[in-house]
């Protein structure tokens, strides 16, 4: 059977709560930032615990000494590179929460600006290495997957540097069909973890009902 894009919408009550906080137009910037941090934490947690992704986070079985006796133990394999890629600038909002669960991960930044007339994404910062180890696990943080332009450009940059799409996980707060359709056609073995799949985009390329501009609301601009 051919691989198929997996879009996971965890039914965790804390994810639902912080999604509601982030959607609310009355939420102040400070609380919105808290909501983004918590969503980054819980979506990363869901991505890590999904039994389907056991290949994504390999473990080692060993024996350790407790203060009283030998004991079997499980550790994350330190030989497997783990990378978090926040897409600037809104992706930074989810980064803090993700880092609490992946404190040893390397962080590589990539930044895009969207032309509000054409809705096309232009890269203004790329700190990705020239080549990744083929075993590298990548977690992309991007609050909104709307038209798909930015996430498709990011995926292209990662895959041309040797990252296996099957080893990429995307965490997003809200997503829309256009972005998911583009990703599914180009990268059918990709996994996405999102708090919601919304109905559509408006004429300006914003997700409806969405949560507004995640970057503006995070940074108060």
Position 151 in a domain: yes
Q: 118: Cβ–Cβ under 8 A, 6 or more apart, which residues?
A: none
Check residue 13 and give its pLDDT.
96
The domain that holds 152 is classified in CATH as 3.40.50.2020
Check residue 3 and give its pLDDT.
62
| Structural element, H or E, at residue 25 | none
Overall domain count for the chain: 1
Domain hosting residue 68, numbered range: 6-219
Token digits for 117? 């007339």
Position 71 in a domain: yes
Q: Quick one: which of 114, 108, 123, 101 has its CA closest to 38?
A: 101
pLDDT tens digits along 169-212: 999 999 999 999 999 999 999 999 999 999 889 988 899 999 99
Position 113 in a domain: yes
Exposure of 134 by Cβ count < 10 A (0-12 exposed, 13-18 middle, 19+ buried)?
exposed
pLDDT tens digits along 51-74: 655 578 888 899 999 999 999 999
Check residue 52 and give its pLDDT.
59
Range from 44-53, 68-77, 136-145 carrying the lowest mean pLDDT = 44-53
Question: For residues 115 and 122, is the Cβ–Cβ distance under 8 A?
Answer: yes
Position 150 in a domain: yes
Question: For residues 176 and 202, is the Cβ–Cβ distance under 8 A?
Answer: no
Position 1 in a domain: no
């Amino acid at each position: 059977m051919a691989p198929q894009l997996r879009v996971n919408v965890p039914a965790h009550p804390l994810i639902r709560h912080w999604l509601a906080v982030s959607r609310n137009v009355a939420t102040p910037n400070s609380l919105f930032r808290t909501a983004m941090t918590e969503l980054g934490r819980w979506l990363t947690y869901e991505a890590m615990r999904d039994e389907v992704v056991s290949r994504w986070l390999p473990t080692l079985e060993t024996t350790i000494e407790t203060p009283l006796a030998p004991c079997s133990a499980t550790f994350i394999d330190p030989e497997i590179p783990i990378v978090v890629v926040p897409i600037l600038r809104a992706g930074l909002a989810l980064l803090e929460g993700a880092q609490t669960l992946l404190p040893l991960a390397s962080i590589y930044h990539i930044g895009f600006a969207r032309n509000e007339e054409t809705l096309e994404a232009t890269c203004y910062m790329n700190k990705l290495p020239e080549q990744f180890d083929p075993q590298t696990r990548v977690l992309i943080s991007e609050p909104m997957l709307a038209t798909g332009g930015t996430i498709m450009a990011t995926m292209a940059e990662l895959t041309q540097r040797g990252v296996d799409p099957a080893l990429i996980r995307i965490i997003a707060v809200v997503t829309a069909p256009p972005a998911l359709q583009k990703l599914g056609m180009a990268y059918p073995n990709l996994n996405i973890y999102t708090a919601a799949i919304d109905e559509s985009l408006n004429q300006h390329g914003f997700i409806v009902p969405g949560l507004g501009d995640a970057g503006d609301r995070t940074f108060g601009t």
